[in-house]
Amino acid sequence: MSAVSKCQRSDMKWKAEEEKAKGWRFSEYFSLPIPQRLQIYFVYIDKSLFNSFFVLNFLYYITYSVSVYSSQFLSIYLSIYLSIYLSIYPASYQMLPAWRQFHILGAFFTFSLQRIHLYTVWKHQSRQRESKYVLDFFLSLFYLHSFTLISIHSVCLSIYLS
């Protein structure tokens, strides 16, 4: 089979999945079987998360600058706000080809590594601060959220691609 026909077949499959997803309604979501729910979550919501990742990646550097040169708490609250925004960002109702799912997982992994880097920087800087325990509490939650996010998305990825 030639490379052109493989691409055409892949494109036709992609278009068929797109057409099938157009009929999906939010009210039907909870009546669907769990694997299908995960698929809908992964296809619809992660499209938006992937798009918002680039904005968050840019804001990470702003947050890092604030944490180094100015108030640490401002950067923590900004980061927590961004995490919440990342979690509830509305879906854009477009499907993704399977290869793009790996890019999403890679993006979250990179974002998580950056947050771990922020955690270590803040932890080192907070050793001389009176508010060390409060800071450590927020950063621990932040750190835990990164790994939880990666775990959830790797499970969704394996179910979606199987």
Q: Is residue 14 a part of any domain in this protein?
A: no
For every residue of 30-50, DSSP letters joined together read GGS-HHHHHHHIIIIIHHHHH
pLDDT, tens digit (0-9, with 9 covering 90-100), for 39-93: 666 555 555 555 555 566 556 555 555 555 555 555 555 555 555 445 444 333 3
Q: Is residue 108 a part of any domain in this protein?
A: yes
pLDDT of residue 91: 39
Structural domains counted in the chain: 1
Element (H, E) at 57: helix 46-69
Quick one: CA torsion of 146, 105, 113, 85, rounded to 10 degrees?
-50
pLDDT, tens digit (0-9, with 9 covering 90-100), for 57-66: 556 555 555 5
Q: Is residue 42 a part of any domain in this protein?
A: yes
Percent of the chain beyond pLDDT 90?
Answer: 0
pLDDT, tens digit (0-9, with 9 covering 90-100), for 104-161: 555 555 555 556 666 666 666 655 555 555 556 656 666 666 666 666 666 665 665 6
pLDDT of residue 93: 33
| Long-range residue pairs from 59-65, CB within 8 A, at least 24 positions apart, any chain | 60/111, 60/114, 60/115, 60/118, 63/118, 64/118, 64/121
Q: What range defines the domain where residue 30 resides?
A: 25-161
Q: Is residue 126 a part of any domain in this protein?
A: yes
Q: Is residue 2 a part of any domain in this protein?
A: no
Q: Is residue 7 a part of any domain in this protein?
A: no
Q: Is residue 10 a part of any domain in this protein?
A: no
Instruction: Give mean pLDDT, residues 16-24.
Output: 55
Q: Is residue 84 a part of any domain in this protein?
A: yes
